[in-house]
């Protein structure tokens, strides 16, 4: 059975399998070596994510028959990316208030998610990814393109507040000894990051997806999960003898 790598997060994860997405690029990297499993939920925050944990990652001693990902006979994922925070950082009193999660609770929710994953598998590689930066003017422009004069006049998220959530994410990773990707800081190192990396002030352009992909690959490689060093699940066709094909498969599946 191929190893599984699960991408767990909000809409930025959900959209990652679109053309040019970072999840699709990972699936290409690990083709025939590991399965990239998408578990992205648009609009979700860490509070809502907690309700799904036991369904998406059931403990092996309590398998859920309807969940083939981690049934009792299955192997837990080798790695999980946790990519939440963009919705948690929505501002109170603005149009996305119902998604807001206080920053202290956000950090504790992330801790609970990590704890659950480690209880499912002590060896799983957990990678925390911060929310990206926010282009506040880009958010207003996007709202105007959808709602015209009825659009919000002030952004429902700010870059400053989102940066505080990113900081808590990175601090928690350090506390727990986990790798993290500070996307909020990384993207702002590039000139004109607002238009280059963000399509609507929040979600990612193909170039923004490329930044996430590059950073995830870097972390995976540093953790010993390099796609280049992983074996194929079955022999390469060049290894198969047309007159005696059984020989190539003997060590792996016969």
Task: Tell me which residues are annotated as active site.
Answer: 11
Integer Cα distance of 254 and 249 in angstroms: 6
- Cα 27 from Cα 5, distance rounded (Å): 9
Separation of CA 134 from chain center: 18
Q: Which helix (H) or strand (E) holds 131?
A: none
Q: Can you tell me the distance from the alpha carbon of 29 to that of 76, in angstroms, rounded to the nearest whole number?
A: 20
| Residues forming beta bridges with residue 6, ordered by sequence position | 37, 80
* DSSP letter string, 79-105: EEEEE--TTTTPPTTSTTGGG---HHH
3-state secondary structure of 2: coil
Closest CA to 232 of 251, 246, 217: 251
**Two tokens, residue 206:** 């193909």
> What are the DSSP E strand ranges found in 10-151?
35-40, 79-83, 125-129
Asked whether 180 and 130 are in contact (CB, 8 A), the reply is yes
With tokens 């900081």, the residue in question is 167
CA distance readout (Å), 68 to 53, 76, 197: 15, 11, 35
């Amino acid at each position: 059975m191929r190893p599984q790598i699960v991408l767990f997060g909000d809409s930025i994860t959900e959209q990652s399998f679109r053309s040019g997405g970072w999840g699709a690029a990972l699936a290409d990297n690990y083709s025939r070596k590991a399965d990239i499993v998408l578990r992205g939920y648009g609009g979700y925050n860490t509070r809502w994510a907690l309700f799904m944990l036991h369904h998406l990652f059931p403990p092996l001693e309590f398998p859920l028959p309807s969940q083939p990902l981690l049934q009792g006979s299955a192997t837990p994922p080798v790695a999980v990316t946790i990519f939440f925070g963009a919705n948690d950082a929505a501002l109170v009193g603005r149009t996305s208030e119902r998604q807001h999660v206080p920053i202290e609770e956000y950090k504790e929710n992330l801790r609970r998610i990590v704890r659950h994953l480690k209880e499912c598998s002590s060896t799983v590689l957990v990678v925390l990814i911060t929310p990206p930066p926010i282009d506040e003017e880009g958010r207003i422009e996007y709202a105007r393109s959808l709602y015209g004069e009825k659009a919000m006049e002030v952004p429902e998220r700010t870059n400053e507040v989102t940066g505080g959530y990113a900081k808590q994410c990175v601090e928690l990773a350090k506390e727990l000894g986990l790798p993290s990707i500070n996307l909020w800081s990384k993207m702002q190192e590039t000139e004109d990051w607002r238009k280059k990396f963000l399509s609507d002030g929040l979600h990612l352009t193909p170039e923004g997806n490329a930044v996430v992909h590059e950073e995830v690959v870097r972390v995976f490689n540093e953790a010993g999960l390099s796609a280049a060093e992983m074996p194929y699940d079955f022999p390469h066709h060049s290894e198969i003898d047309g007159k005696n094909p059984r020989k190539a498969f003997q060590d792996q599946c016969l």
